[in-house]
Amino acid sequence: MTKLSHSDLLSLEVYSQERDSFRARVMEHKKARRLPIGDHASLYFEDALTMQYQIQEMLRIERIFEHQGIQDELDVYNPLIPDGLNWKATFMIEYGDPEERRAALAKLIGVEKALWVKVDGFDKVYPIANEDLDRETEDKTSSVHFVRFELDGNMAAAIKKGASLSAGIDHPAYQQEVTVSDEVRDSLAGDLH
């Protein structure tokens, strides 16, 4: 996939004028990029549009308008855009109650490595997790992880032809398997070449 450049971004002034409509478009797009896995875990698959939104918001919040500052944001977020044979996602462990979340995170150490996706007819693919930094201690895991699922060309071709996709978690404290909806699968197929 093509990485974002300065020319893909709106100036702060233009973004402020178009923010509401752009945000609405991105939120609608994200609906087909969220994959719940059971009641307490979800994958949020990233792409160029979700990263453009993230960068635009960071530029707005931080009031960044200088060339190097914009480049710094591009350098941070471009690695989260899929490369054509992978999916990149934010993996979140989601418990509304803080005490329940704290107890779950203590039991779920290593859960990000127990995630998987499976293209029908192929083996499970486990992610490369947290390439930026380690997100767990000996006492607990983080509620947010960044993961990358590397596919091969045959898997990508099968997904693009409509092969079914499933995902799950094989962790002693969290066992789940889901069939990915056609809407999400089709959105993810767009990340592949």
pLDDT tens-digit profile of 94-113?
A: 999 999 999 999 999 999 99
pLDDT at 1: 57
Least confident of 49-58, 136-145, 167-176: 136-145
Helix ranges (DSSP H) in 108-179: 153-160
- pLDDT over 70 for what percent of the chain? 97
From the list 134, 145, 139, the residue with the least C-alpha distance to 111 is: 145
Residue 62, C-beta contacts closer than 8 angstroms, at least 6 positions apart = 69
Domain boundaries, position 74: 6-31+48-80
* Domains held by the chain: number: 2
C-beta of residue 128 within 8 angstroms of C-beta of residue 76: no
pLDDT tens-digit profile of 29-66?
A: 999 999 999 999 999 999 999 999 999 999 999 999 99
| Residue pointed to by tokens 């719940």 | 36
Q: Is the domain of 75 the same as that of 103?
A: no
**133-137 average pLDDT score:** 66
Q: Is the domain of 65 the same as that of 103?
A: no
**139-152 average pLDDT score:** 93
One-character DSSP codes across 29-81: HHHTTEEE-SSSEEEEE--HHHHHHHHHHHHHHHT--SHHHHHHHHHHHGGGS
Asked if pLDDT for residue 132 goes beyond 70, the answer is: no
User: What does the alpha-carbon distance between residue 58 and residue 63 come to, in Å, rounded to a whole number?
Assistant: 8
Q: Looking at the domain assignment, is residue 162 inside a domain?
A: yes
CA–CA–CA angle 112, 53, 182 (5° rounding): 60
**5-15 average pLDDT score:** 96
| Residue pointed to by tokens 């462990």 | 93
User: What does the alpha-carbon distance between residue 26 and residue 39 come to, in Å, rounded to a whole number?
Assistant: 24
Q: Looking at the domain assignment, is residue 41 inside a domain?
A: no
Residue 23, C-beta contacts closer than 8 angstroms, at least 6 positions apart = 53
Going by the DSSP 8-state scheme, the letter that residue 18 receives in this structure is H
C-beta of residue 100 within 8 angstroms of C-beta of residue 138: no
Q: Is the domain of 100 the same as that of 184?
A: yes
Q: Looking at the domain assignment, is residue 69 inside a domain?
A: yes
Q: Looking at the domain assignment, is residue 26 inside a domain?
A: yes
